[in-house]
Structure 1
Amino acid sequence: MLRWIIFLVIFGIADIYAFQAFKTISKNNWLQILYWFITVLVIGNFVFHYYGFNRSDGFSHGHAYAFGFFIALLIPKMVLLVFMVGEDIIRVPQAVFRYFTEGDTARGNYFASRRQFVSKIALGIAAIPLASIIYGIYKGKYNYKVLKYTLHFEDLPKAFDGYKLTQISDIHSGSFDNMDKVNYAVDLINEQQSDIILFTGDMVNNKAEELVPYKNVFGKLKAKDGLFSVLGNHDYGDYVQWESEDAKKQNLEDLKNLQKEIGFDVLLNESRYLEKNGERIALVGVENWGAGGFKTAGDLKKASTSINKDDFKILMSHDPSHWEKKVIKDDYHYHLTLSGHTHGMQFGIEIPGWFKWSPVKWRYKYWAGIYEELGQFINVNRGFGYLAFPGRVGIWPEITVIELKKSSNSA
């Protein structure tokens, strides 16, 4: 209860300052009433959904949108708070000075009026995150981008020169609310005509039943060398309360079976060989392995027992912290690792090929795109779906296409 009181007090202070800025540009009573109506509606809806909320009880679309609209309201008001408090830092010393120099002549009104241009600037800047978040909720979460990379390797078997793979990750099917948009994305994946499709975990938020409405949609995925998948931390059902341990285990089995029905070969700490013209590369898939409290069911050694050390290897591992902590220095040398998990936080600023930033970089060293260490590559997919916040701002849903090329200086 105390945290809710603190939360409401802080938000109330931000609202008072935000309303002061709003009043400087509009004296219309109806607009001011509308301002408070929207504020009370959004905060009330947020409190309704989250007071007493326990993540283990499940996360509904109602929770997602309550959170999304709250963020859309909070961030612009925090921007306004910074500007208005900044102005008060100037106004307070001025008021003190007037008190001692003007005395009764000021008649108790020692504070200078708020400057209208400061409020206008603050409102203009605050409008940017407001518009971005609203766009992210209604359009951004389905603003699919196909990102294409070409990676060169000296020891790539010649038969696989020009081999194309499509990676998708973090579908989170329980979050979707538009079947047509998901259909469009699946068609976009198939249009890439890659040799193989690889999914790197988090098919659902929590329960296998989330995938059922989309089984036929994802069942349209096609690649001549097949579809392969691994599990992510959300696929194990660890974040909801189950009536029994058996029910939780059955949920995981149901999810595996659903993926198989779609056409995925689910790799559970195991490997497969991809063969072409008498040559082969190894595809290795581990269960989730994550640092910082995430599930560590992944077993790289077990997954690689059936392959040779000198094979060309592609590793599928959901969490990029696995690559950082275990894979890079492994003596088996995994040429290319495919991960997801971070979602790029679904929020950031990115100019492809020039600049990318997201707060998630403070949590994950490798958080989006291609990285190279010790002659090995990792691609961290920004995710196909979304979770918790029902949108994406600046970090769009991703379909990755990677072409493998044999280095020109190779024999």
Structure 2
Amino acid sequence: MSDQDKLEFVERRICIGMITSTEYIQRVILFWRADLLATKWSRLVCQWSLEYYDKYKHSPGQDIESLYERNKAELDPDTQDAMGAFLRGLSNEYKQEYDRYDEEGRQIFNVEYLIDQTKEYFQQQNLIRHQEEIAQRIDRGELQEGEAAAFTFAPAYVDHTTYIEPFSDMAGPALRAAFTARQAPLIRYPSAIGQFWNDEMTREAFVAIMAAEKKGKSWILMDAAIRAARQGCNTVLFQAGDMTENQMLRRIAIYAAQRSDQERYCKNIWMPILDCKRHQQDKCEDSRRQKQYYPDPILETSSPMYDDLIMAAKTFRKHSPCRNCPAIRGSVWLQKQKDAQPLTKEEVEREMRGFQQKHVKGRLRLSTHANGTLSVTVMKALLDLWERTEHFIPDAIIVDYADILAPCPDFARMEFRHQENQKWQRLRNLSQERHSL
């Protein structure tokens, strides 16, 4: 992609942000420079969007087509063609990137990242135009004027990102954005784990899952990626070499189908569920206790082995586990699961399509790399490529796992301990630059 193509790509995203996001308009007004947009049609789209916002206090959305129809007679043919092509191509792109909402109906759109892109675009355009002015002066032999122009350069805007005055009127949009981001988890979990985790699963957060080997870290990360996509987020799962692409796809398909591809995991399966020791040993007199069909203790020992639990479950089939009061003393009970047929290669595509149609609202991208080849530098290059070529901008970036990432070239010669520190700093930088989880 040429530099000109990159500029046109960002300008197109600016226009879409103006059309679809009220928050984007509110934030960008503070430093807006319509004169720095390169094309006439994009200036008109943004002008119409701002005028619409001034009147109705929200972005125009689908009303942009009505604004175009109302004004197109006044446009020259080239501008008509360019704007018409933009609006025709907007529908699919809008659904992929902007028409996504969480379970509470809030739009999932990375406003912060587009704000950063807009600022960079204005800076770049401002520098290009200033450079062109100086070059034209030199070509005409106007050296003194060219030198004067060089000394009169003014930034495209005053960069308030290096500071903020929290009690000033200027801080209003930033304060609203801070509380919006904090109150909207991108990944939601149910029950107790949701109470523990949900408030941390927000945009710009940085979360690490740590445990010893074979404790389920990869499964938790895969589950988080699928949950994010189910809840409307664009998600990328980077597999850094712990597993191959085939192994990951097999896991994801088994997750979606809710059954294994191996017979031994489909038949004679006992599922552990929570029960209460006092209930099992018939030592509870609480009125809230689950009905107990057996007057004698069904488990004599407080530390039963697996075989003891299976024997008890087979013997006391009517036993109903109890967890009805805060005084519960946690214990394990086993429930027999219904037998299922192993997942076959003939079924897997149908199962995946069905899961996607029923549950997946966002996009999930799996990027698998051989051990020792994936670094944060490579991740950033891939994210830039996907954004430019496919309009894919992730809300959640998940890496399995950080310890086996390759060092970036600029710190590959450091001592191992310093390399590890730099890896974690670069991962944190990724969430800050991309305004993602």
TM-score by length of 1: 0.24
More helix by share: 2
Larger Rg: 2
Determine which structure has the larger strand proportion and give its number: 1
